[in-house]
Amino acid sequence: MSKVQLDKKIPDMEMHITGDKQVNLSDYLGKTLVIYFYPKASTPGCTQEGLDFREAITRFRRQSTVILGASRDGLKAQENFKAKQGFPFDLASDPDEILCKAFDVIKEKNMYGRKVLGIERSTFLIDKTGVLRQEWRKVKVKGHVEEVLEAVKALKK
């Protein structure tokens, strides 16, 4: 599987998303797509990021933009996270790291002095033709959703 590259069409991949649905990235053609990767469902930073996207969902929808969260959590954990937080968007379950590896978000991290592999919080903006237009890596949650929304608006101009 090739890795995504800025200003190139993203490879089509199948995903398992909440609602127990199998979808392909190509199913989102015709709409702008924001995929945000987070380390673990129901943890503080990941919850806040999801809540920030939830709060801004109407503004994203006005821009014909779909939000999709993704992590290595199993589908049940994703379903519970979505329901508990009332997220109005789907979450992708990627325990096999197919999506994570294509977007190159698995990085070595320090956890309590041990080196572990985990998701580096990252967001990707894909235009309606399936081309990756912008990426944010090592995301800090505070203010991030507003930055993504501004990039979506700039893409429409």
Q: Which amino acid is at 41?
A: A
Decide: helix, strand or coil at residue 81.
helix
Could you give the count of Cα atoms lying within 13 Å of 139 in the half-sphere of its Cβ?
A: 26
CB atoms near residue 28 (< 10 Å): 18
Contact 96, 114 (CB under 8 A): no
Identify whether 46 is a catalytic site residue: yes
Closest by alpha carbon to 140, among 124, 122, 125, 153?
122
**List 25, 35, 46, 91, catalytic entry:** 46
Active site residues: 46
